A and B are shown apart, each in its own frame.
Chain A
Amino acid sequence: MSLLEVRELQTYFDTRRGVVKAVDGISFTLESGKGLGIVGESGSGKSQTAMSIIQLFQHNQRIAGGSIMFDGRQISDYTDSQLEAIRGNEISIIFQEPMSSLNPVFTVSKQLCEVLITHQNMSSEDAKAKAYEMLKAVKIDQPERVLKSYPHQLSGGMSQRVMIAMALSCNPKLLIADEPTTALDVIIQAEILKLMNELKEKLNTAILFITHDLGVVSKMVDNVVVMHGGKIVESAPVKVLFKSAKHPYTKRLIAAFLKTDIRRANEGETLDFFEAENDQYDFQQFRDRGVADDDFYQVSAGHMIACRLKKK
């Protein structure tokens, strides 16, 4: 049994101008202790996929279809209080903007202890001791001083370390990281990624790593899904994806990352990748090698590409 199993997930926003399908029928699985990357351009639905897992929703947002199984439980059907018991406890999340993700009016200590007191029923003494330990685990110098600090007294890198400490303090089975290093400079970024990898190994935490930086994803995860327009266009083991991406959108993403001139000609125009995928590939050739389901063709073990428009 997989740790996380997302099936045909749809997450919609009800807006004045109609329904926005931020996530439109995606499926993926994540094994415990492993890493899965979600990549795709801005607005492709990566963050909303992450938010859907713990239903960290806005007023007008809802799961419109599909299911999410976590650790054998269908958490997509959970009530608010059931979800609260899971958030920060079994599934934690860290965000892109560490500086604004901590509450400016509370000390680091209070914000760290809060999770422990909420989920582990710790006394405030024990929680403080554990918070100190966690800050040491994320390699913060002078944890004593940082505990007493307010967020505005911390740098971006330190704030993200505090966020990681907070996220991991209840020893979650799954850590969702939504572009955790995008706002940090390259050197700090590398340190944070290294730290996350170390802690992931040590605590055997699965990571759902969201990024649009393909360079980062190759260091962090085993498998990658590529999203575009709320849908998955390709999924593969990370090495396979870099070596033999099949989908035109993935190819362009990799090309853009490598900054080659491939497709320079196409830049500026919005390419309809779903059209393109049908023009460029005869998906029938994959049929013989085994069809995963109606929408995806399996190229090789674990490597799928979308071809849904072929049916129309």
Chain B
Amino acid sequence: MYRYIIKRVLWLFPILLGVTFIVFTILYLSPGDAASLILGEQATQESLEALRNQLGLNDPFLVQFFRYAGDVFLRFDLGRSYINNREVLGEILQRLPNTILLASLSITFAALAGIPLGVIAAKKPNTAVDNGVMALALFGVSMPTFWQSLILIIIFSLTLGWFPSGGFSNPNQWVLPVIALSTASIGNIARITRSSMIDVLDQDYIRTARSKGLSKKKVVNSHALRNALIPVVTVIGLQFGALMGGAVLTESVFSINGLGVLMVNSIRTRDIMVVQGSVLFVAFMFSIVNLIVDILYSFIDPRIRAQYK
């Protein structure tokens, strides 16, 4: 088990190196010049050229790439912004708590609501209860997050005045963005829980559990749910990863200073170093979440644990 975890952690390096290469290449090929970005429109040819040389922008592609990768992987240095000369890593870490808090609260809420909904639907497949829950789930999945955020603000903030419409510093401000961000995940989790659960409830060992005289509740919540959980955990992991880097719209609407906003702003201002750094960072977080999900599998299912030796 430990060997497996160590192996997986070591695998992070080549994966992230690959991601770095792809991101770096795309930004290298995209139009825009760092020197003119720093010095402004009025700069002379000579000063631009001098700065390019100083930044190493005239070096061959591979030299530039390995210099960047070396900084990132050996010194954990993501460079400095071309716009305001701040440390990229610092910029990211400053916004990270908001993003992580928003993503964690949302995914927790989504799991706490989505799993029971899926179980309720699976217990009575193709009945009114099931159809109702699944219609709700579909609604949640298909409702655009930004639209929903606006509706939530209009109803609960502007009209009823229950919650503030922006900021993220106290729990009162968490409610609306977490709801907005979790509805789609609730729907996804409910749907996958339902289908996985229906499969499991049909298995021979569930019949055995019932034949032992266990109560329905125990059969479902202990014997079935544990087995149904693998695909559910997968989806939760993927959703969590997506929330990590993809909460841009929610962050903007609710004026939350998080990673999503940082990324969008840096793309708008062509702040290449920040774009590069934050994409890499999100990829890193995504890999970590995936690793945690894989480790969770082995806790859920002993057959998977046996393979990890």
Interfacial residues, chain A to chain B (CB-CB below 8 A): 54, 56, 59, 80-81, 83-89, 92-93, 95, 97, 100-106, 114-115, 118-119, 150, 152-153, 163, 166
A105-B226 contact given A59-B125, A152-B303, CB 8 Å threshold: yes
Residue of A nearest to B202 (CB): A58
Query: Cβ of A100 and Cβ of B204 under 8 Å apart?
Result: yes
Q: Which residues of A contact B212 (CB under 8 A)?
A: 87-88, 114-115, 118, 166
Q: Report the bound CA distance from A83 to B300 in whole Å.
A: 31
Residue of B nearest to A99 (CB): B204
A104-B205 contact given A59-B125, A152-B303, CB 8 Å threshold: yes
A105-B227 contact given A97-B204, A152-B303, A152-B306, CB 8 Å threshold: yes
Query: Cβ of B207 and Cβ of A95 under 8 Å apart?
Result: yes
A101-B302 contact given A87-B213, A114-B214, CB 8 Å threshold: no
Q: Is B289 an interface residue (CB 8 A)?
A: no
Q: Which residues of B contact A85 (CB under 8 A)?
A: 213
Query: Cβ of A101 and Cβ of B207 under 8 Å apart?
Result: yes
Query: Cβ of A103 and Cβ of B210 under 8 Å apart?
Result: no
Q: Report the bound CA distance from A86 to B214 in whole Å.
A: 10
Q: Which residues of A contact B301 (CB under 8 A)?
A: 104-105
Query: Cβ of B207 and Cβ of A105 under 8 Å apart?
Result: no
| B10 → chain A closest CB, angstroms | 28
Q: Contact partner of B216 among A80, A88, A89, A166, CB < 8 A? A: A80
A95-B204 contact given A105-B301, A150-B302, CB 8 Å threshold: yes
| A259 → chain B closest CB, angstroms | 31
Write 22 A-B pairs (CB below 8 A) sorted by A numbering.
Answer: A56-B210, A56-B211, A59-B125, A80-B216, A84-B214, A84-B215, A87-B213, A88-B212, A88-B214, A95-B208, A100-B204, A102-B205, A104-B301, A104-B303, A106-B223, A114-B212, A115-B213, A118-B214, A150-B303, A152-B302, A153-B306, A166-B212
Query: Cβ of B213 and Cβ of A93 under 8 Å apart?
Result: no
Q: Which residues of B contact A87 (CB under 8 A)?
A: 210-213
Q: Report the bound CA distance from A92 to B207 in whole Å.
A: 12
Interfacial residues, chain B to chain A (CB-CB below 8 A): 124-125, 203-205, 207-216, 223, 226-227, 300-303, 306
Q: Contact partner of B227 among A104, A115, A119, A150, CB < 8 A? A: A104
Question: For chain B, what secondary structure do more than half of its interface residues adopt (helix, strand, loop), or is it mixed?
Answer: helix
Q: Which residues of B contact A150 (CB under 8 A)?
A: 302-303, 306
Q: Which residues of A contact B207 (CB under 8 A)?
A: 56, 95, 101
Q: Report the bound CA distance from A79 to B223 in whole Å.
A: 22
Q: Report the bound CA distance from A201 to B259 in whole Å.
A: 72
A100-B214 contact given A105-B300, A105-B302, CB 8 Å threshold: no
| B295 → chain A closest CB, angstroms | 16
Q: Report the bound CA distance from A101 to B203 in whole Å.
A: 8
Q: Report the bound CA distance from A296 to B69 in whole Å.
A: 88
Q: Which residues of B contact A152 (CB under 8 A)?
A: 302-303, 306
Query: Cβ of B227 and Cβ of A103 under 8 Å apart?
Result: yes
Q: Which residues of B contact A97 (CB under 8 A)?
A: 204
Q: Report the bound CA distance from A85 to B191 in whole Å.
A: 34
Query: Cβ of B204 and Cβ of A84 under 8 Å apart?
Result: no
Q: Which residues of B contact A104 (CB under 8 A)?
A: 205, 227, 301-303
Q: Which residues of B contact A89 (CB under 8 A)?
A: 213
| B54 → chain A closest CB, angstroms | 61
Residue of A nearest to B123 (CB): A59
| A289 → chain B closest CB, angstroms | 41
Q: Report the bound CA distance from A86 to B211 in whole Å.
A: 9
Q: Contact partner of A93 among B203, B211, B215, CB < 8 A? A: B211
